[in-house]
Chain A
Amino acid sequence: MRRFFLFSWVIVALLLTACGGQTPAATSTSTPEAQTGGKSITLNGAGATFPLPVYTEWNQMYRSVQPDVTINYQGIGSGGGQKAILDSTVDFAGSDSLLKDNQYTKMPDLQMLPMLAGAVVPIYNLPGVDKLVLDGPTMVDIFMANITNWNDPAIAKLNPGVSLPDAPIVVAHRSDGSGTTEIFTSYLGAVSEEWKNSVGVGKAIEWPADKNGQGIGGKGNPGVAQAVQATPNAIGYVELAYAKSNSIPFANLINAAGNEVTADAETMQDAMAAFANAFNERLTAKIMNAPGQKSWPIMGYTYLIIHMKENQNCDKTKALLEYASWAVSDPAAAQKAADLGYATLPNAVKELVMAKLQEVTCNGQKVLQ
């Protein structure tokens, strides 16, 4: 018994010394941050997963621009990001979907800033078919489950000379709420009144193909891509950046001008240029079914959400604004975004964003001079 007590005391003593040994180390790492007197700044952001790859790269690159500023961005989804900034648990949020009116009422000084745009592409799995062309009405019919077989004349007419299988079309879609779904369904709604009224547009909808057992839901871009790749004769939709980085074939589309286009930097820029003047006072715009000759029709902006007035820590606000203007205007940052499959802002939109950044105040004072 005595030995047991001795033993336990030895353990307690060891634990104490172990903790004691850690304490100085912990203080020594935290000291420099404290000594710089607020110069070392950490900005926390969260939100959309769509721009996560490029934000992560940017945050790394920004280390060499502003070594004192650390930016953390967590991809928790657009809805999560909006909730986080409304709860004031983050310094900024990322979002693909627009804030709703009641959210603006709760926090009137929230501002959405377009950062990048991205395209959504229809991906498919048709063994032996290397190139597929679709147009808006046909896409609507496929996702409405009006067209249920690949050998349908509507598809055949768009793809002369391609041998399409006599097989049911399996429709893969997101099972989680997603900005990608919102962009994609907005496109279908822009093409077809019937879609807009009977199915709807949003981050999550009820898919008609599910009703007859030909729908499959997948979580996230990887889930949809996996479902399409595992299922011959399936069609689905993912972001261009994801399709490109994973070499998934995607279909060409007939755009609003009646031309066949593929999703790339040129067609995305064309669509954005066509809608460069479409921004409203909230600095949001749709780039859906753009009328340009070469426009890729399924696109959307991704936004940062920041506070315009309710800023308390002016050093943090300044750091955030500098980061945002760097991200929008720096050529290296733009190059990185383009490499990853995103579309960078046209000059007209850049100027709108920069002007908005100038207006941000902290304790009533303008932050950027």
Chain B
Amino acid sequence: MQRSKGSTITPMLSSQLGNRNPSWRARMGRWLQHGDRIWRTALLVASLLTVLLVLMIAWEIWTGSTLSRHEFGWNFLLPWVESVWNPALDRFQAWPAIYGSLITSLIALALAVPFSVAIAIFLSELAPPVLRTPLNTMVEMLAAVPSVVYGLWGIYVFLPVVVTPIGRVLAASVGSVPGLSLLFAGPMPVSGTSRLAAALILTFMVTPTIASVSREVLQAIPRSQREASLALGATPWETVWKVLLPYGLSGILGAVILGFGRAIGETMAVTMVIGNVSGSGYSVLRPGYTMASIIANEFAEAVSDMHTSALIEIALILFVVTIILNVIARWLVASVNRKTMGS
């Protein structure tokens, strides 16, 4: 069978190569060269397909949102317009959802990054070998827990036990301080469903991602760097702080951006704990929406064409925000790389 396949190719090859009679081994080699080209083409097609896919998604959400873009223009996403999300009147403004996405993701990152980097440093530099493997496994397992499980655990355990008391304390303390009251005005619903709940659940979800990627980054730093630093008389702490972190900064930044991407796109867990309401002001102690969760909630049963179109426009915004994030991430990583190369 293999011969028969070979013979179908041979005439073509031999005509290309003139009428020599190459050995089996040489023919095999040529065939493989040929195969190389086929292989390369296949890979090229595969990667072009992903580009095509992105373009098709972009086209689809661009055309799908035409109605809403024409009707509302820039008012759809600008914060200084009084926000309305009213399917009964067909008036839509996406700012509350955009704000919800940004505030929950940013709080999540602010809380998760120090933790994650600390975990990464411990696992890569300080943990005794007995602890290292089990802890590594645990962190990676956490990253693989499905988001609906985080959501369920959030509703039944985390919200009543942790978020509600925190919310009560925050509302009572900083809730009435002028300026801060914008962000911390109470009361929080007793069940704890709020933007803060979503942010804290997201913190748990992105921490393992950032931690495990940062750990990989730190472990990839050559031993010589550590040895050189220690040989100069630096303490382990100084080695971590002054040598390893600057060396791995671009990788850690990449991990943070990865976490941000997960946070802003997270749908299921957020929908389960954020309360799913629109236009409830800026306080993190109140229920709200994120861009992903408003689409998940309303798209299937959108009331009118305008409603559908407005939801698709939110998808467009989410898409653009993700692209912008990626660009910023690349630029940050590149600039950090330039700096470390320079020094």
**1/0 per residue A160-203: CB within 8 Å of B?**
00000001101000011110000000000000000000011111
B88 touches which one: A176, A206, A213, A230 (CB < 8 A)? Answer: A206
Please encode chain A, from 77 to 105, with 1 for each CB lying within 8 Å of some chain B CB and 0 for all others: 11110000000000000000000000000
Q: Mark interface residues in B294-320 (1 if CB within 8 Å of A CB, else 0).
A: 001110111100010000000000000
In the complex, are the beta carbons of A203 and B303 less than 8 A apart?
Answer: yes
Q: Which of B275, B278, B297 contacts A206 (CB 8 A)?
A: B278
Q: Is B215 an interface residue (CB 8 A)?
A: no
Q: How far is the CA of A175 from the CA of B303 in the complex (A)?
A: 12
Nearest CB of B to A212, in Å = 8
Partner of A5 from B2, B189, B278, B296 at Cβ < 8 Å: B2
Docked-complex contact B88 and A231, CB < 8 angstroms: no
- Contact: B276 with A205, CB < 8 Å? no
A214 CA / B190 CA spacing, docked (Å): 10
Q: Which residues of B contact A6 (CB under 8 A)?
A: 2
| A223 CA to B301 CA, complexed, in Å | 15
A residues near B189, Cβ cutoff 8 Å: 170, 213-214, 216, 231, 234
What is the minimal beta-carbon distance from B273 to any residue of chain A, in angstroms?
10
Please name the residue on chain B nearest to A167 by beta carbon.
B190
Docked-complex contact B191 and A234, CB < 8 angstroms: yes
- For the complex, is A226 an interface residue (Cβ under 8 Å from B)? yes
CB distance from A9 to the nearest CB of B (A): 6
Are B276 and A178 in contact (CB-based, < 8 A)?
A: no
Q: Is B201 an interface residue (CB 8 A)?
A: no
Residues of B within 8 A of A223 (CB): 276
- Chain B residues with Cβ below 8 Å from A232 are 190-191
Interface size on B, residues (CB 8 A): 39
> Which of B38-46, B204-212, B281-289 makes up part of the contact surface?
B281-289
With an 8 Å Cβ cutoff, the count of chain A residues facing the other chain is 44
Nearest A residue to B91, CB-CB: A206
CA distance A234 to B275 in the complex (A): 13
Q: Smallest CB–CB gap between A189 and chain B, Å? A: 10
Using an 8 Å CB-CB cutoff, how does the interface string of B232-256 with A read, 1 for contact, 0 for none? Answer: 0000000000000000000000000
| CB-based contact A168/B2 at 8 Å | no
Q: Which residues of B contact A199 (CB under 8 A)?
A: 88
Q: Does B28 belong to the interface (CB within 8 Å)? A: yes
A83 to B: closest C-beta gap in Å: 10
Question: Is B155 an interface residue, CB under 8 A from the partner?
Answer: yes
The 4 closest A-B CB pairs, nearest first, are A217-B276, A177-B301, A200-B88, A213-B286
Further 11 A-B residue pairs, CB within 8 A, beyond A170-B191, A231-B191: A79-B303, A170-B190, A177-B87, A177-B302, A201-B88, A205-B88, A213-B286, A216-B287, A217-B276, A230-B191, A230-B193
